Amino acid sequence: MTKSAVVRIGVLALQGDFALHARALEKCGVKAVEVRKPVELDQVDGLVMPGGESTTLLKLMDAWDFVPALEKLHGAGKPIFGTCAGLILLAREVESPTQFSLGLIDVTVERNAYGRQRESFEASGTAKLGPDPIQLDMVFIRAPRIRRVGPGVQVLAEHRGEPVMARQDRVLVATFHPELTDSTKVHRYFCDLVERCRAGA
């Protein structure tokens, strides 16, 4: 059976800004698919795990038995992109407090490290998503901090000297919300990763 010509990227639609992620993906020329059941992961080439509240997301994922399906998706070599709470769920270790995570990227994250909702802020940071560094607008909402980066993890963006976007193989994470800006640079980077993996590169 041949692959569809259209790249299909799922957005975990249990909580958070999944609709804005889907809109950004569509702007990049791929088909965005809102994923609400584990079986729907079989029909996508990659997945975005958006922000929200990580403990609530864990409860919803547990209720729908998402964890085995996500591990299967990762094992099949399909890229996953987690933002904010999505990053927390993908991390190797979670602090403040500790909680279950999938352990698919070797980083340690601290939850709500910048404070509560009123401490949310916008900033500009340096990113390397291609051959030359670029400036990215970043929106941080109750954002986690990446406190440790494992040896196999590449830091792609920083803010005030701290890593805010990182990648390990096919897993991409960001502490900020790229879907809340007008730029599609981060989503385009992920779409390119999905397309390369889909082609077997």
Q: Please give the positions annotated as active site.
A: 84, 177, 179
Is 169:22 a contact under the CB 8 Å cutoff? no
Among 13, 87, 78, 93, which Cα is nearest to 42's?
78
Residue type (1 letter), 148: R
The strand pairing partners of 35, in sequence order, are 12
Please give the Cα distance from 11 to 146 (Å, whole number): 23
Cα–Cα separations (whole angstroms), residue 164 to 38, 80, 140, 192: 28, 16, 10, 20
- Would you state the structure tokens that stand for residue 75, as one six-digit string? 């094992």
